[in-house]
């Protein structure tokens, strides 16, 4: 390496969700590789180790290049699994978002430990990128709403069933309604049972999201930048005019930001 060259730092960011686990590799501040794998509570460290080894190999990445790891988890049984994996596979002690880790964002929740790590991380990234006040809408297993003040304080938010949870509930709690694929509806009036269910789920979610955003904006006392993230955001964002930005990797970016704040 030439004297003027600077060695690029490699960070592995892991967002453990209820449905999927998002994994991102950063070179300094650039997210240049990312993958999504199934979140399975029964999987062992060795099983996830094989998955990551294969992903790294297919991407022509070296395990030894990873210098730091940071984890956000809303699935408690998987947190120790990935902490163990960090040591066993990368020989790195992972940072885990939670008490004792500096986020740079005051949390004004009555019980801060109750807030999902992913919600805090996404809020940190949204405020860093777009300023405040900000509302983050995450279209995941649950649809969550998080409000950040103009001063960068986490104020709280709302949690609603995600569109997939709602679809599954219709299938499980009724005798004749089928399990359906989530899809964008062109018309509100469905001409079949499947089309009617898709319409209710699609337009119902849009109405729910738009109304909650409107109410949160009123409580914030003015306008706020609305940022959407989560796997289903591309399906729904186009119908909700108040959403200003779609940021699919918001949690991974937030993990990088929090990692930097704790290193520096």
pLDDT, tens digit (0-9, with 9 covering 90-100), for 44-65: 999 999 999 999 999 999 999 9
Domains of the chain: total: 2
Active site residue 118: yes
Dihedral pair phi/psi, residue 195, rounded to 5°:
-65, -35
Contact by Cβ (8 Å): 122, 135: no
| 65 found inside a domain | yes
Residue 104 forms part of a structural domain: no
Domain, as residue range, for 47 = 10-96
Structure tokens at 79: 């947190």
| pLDDT higher than 80, residue 8 | no
> Are 246 and 124 in a shared domain?
yes
> Given a cut of 50, is residue 1 above it in pLDDT?
no
* pLDDT digits 0-9 by tens, 231-249: 888 888 888 999 999 999 9
Question: Do the domain assignments include residue 259?
Answer: no
> Quick one: 123 and 79 in the same domain?
no
| 6-17 average pLDDT score | 84
| Residue 2, in any domain of the structure | no
pTM: 0.91
Domain boundary among the residues 61, 96, 131 is at 96
Q: Show which of 71, 96, 121 is a domain's final residue.
A: 96
Query: Could you tell me if 78 and 173 lie in one domain?
Result: no
- Tokens 């950063």 belong to 26
Q: Is residue 1 part of a domain?
A: no
Confidence grade of residue 263 (pLDDT, cut at 50, 70, 90): confident
Same domain, 126 and 238: yes
Is there a single domain that holds both residue 116 and residue 230?
A: yes
d(CA 144, CA 166): 14
Q: Does residue 165 sit in the same domain as residue 210?
A: yes
Whether residue 238 lies inside any domain: the answer is: yes
Same domain? For 119 and 245 the reply is yes
Strand-pair partners of 11 = 26, 68
**Cis amide prior to 121 (ω within 30 degrees):** no
Domain check: are 65 and 181 in the same one?
A: no
CATH number of the domain residue 134 falls in: 3.30.420.40
Q: What is the pLDDT of residues 170-188, one digit of tens each?
A: 999 999 999 999 889 889 9
Q: Do residues 234 and 121 both lie within one domain?
A: yes
Residue 132 lies in a domain: yes
Contact criterion met (CB below 8 Å) for 217 and 224: yes
Confidence (pLDDT) at 123: 97
Judge whether residue 3 has pLDDT over 70: no
> Are 32 and 160 members of one domain?
no
- Regarding whether 139 and 92 lie in a shared domain, the answer is no
Q: Indicate if 86 and 124 belong to the same structural domain.
A: no
Residue 230 inside a domain? The answer is yes
Q: Tell me the per-residue pLDDT of 62-93, one tens digit each, with 9 for 90 and over.
A: 999 999 999 999 999 999 999 999 999 999 99
Q: What is the pLDDT of residues 177-225, one digit of tens each?
A: 999 998 898 899 999 999 999 999 999 999 999 999 999 999 998 789 9
Annotated catalytic residue within 15, 28, 46, 118: 118
């Amino acid at each position: 390496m030439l004297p003027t060259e600077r060695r690029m730092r490699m960070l592995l960011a892991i967002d453990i969700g209820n449905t999927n686990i998002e994994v991102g590799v950063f070179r300094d501040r650039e997210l240049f590789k990312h993958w999504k794998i199934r979140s399975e509570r029964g999987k062992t460290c060795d099983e996830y180790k094989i998955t990551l080894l294969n992903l790294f190999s297919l991407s022509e990445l070296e395990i030894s290049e990873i210098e730091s790891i940071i984890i956000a988890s809303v699935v408690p049984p998987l947190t120790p699994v990935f902490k163990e994996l960090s040591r066993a596979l990368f020989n790195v002690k992972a940072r885990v978002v939670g008490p004792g880790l500096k986020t740079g964002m005051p949390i004004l929740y009555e019980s801060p430990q109750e807030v999902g790590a992913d919600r805090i991380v996404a809020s940190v990234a949204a405020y860093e990128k777009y300023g405040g006040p900000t509302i983050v809408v995450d279209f995941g297993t649950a649809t969550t709403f998080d409000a950040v003040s103009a001063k960068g304080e986490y104020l709280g938010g709302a949690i609603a069933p995600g569109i997939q949870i709602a679809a599954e509930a219709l299938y499980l709690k009724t005798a004749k309604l089928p399990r359906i694929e989530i899809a964008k509806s062109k018309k509100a009036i469905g001409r079949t049972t499947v089309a009617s269910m898709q319409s209710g789920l699609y337009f119902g979610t849009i109405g729910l999201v738009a109304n909650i955003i409107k109410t949160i904006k009123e409580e914030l006392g003015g306008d706020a930048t609305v940022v959407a993230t989560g796997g289903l955001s591309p399906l729904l964002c186009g119908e909700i005019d108040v959403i200003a930005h779609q940021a699919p990797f918001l949690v991974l970016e937030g993990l990088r930001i929090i990692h930097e704040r704790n290193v520096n």
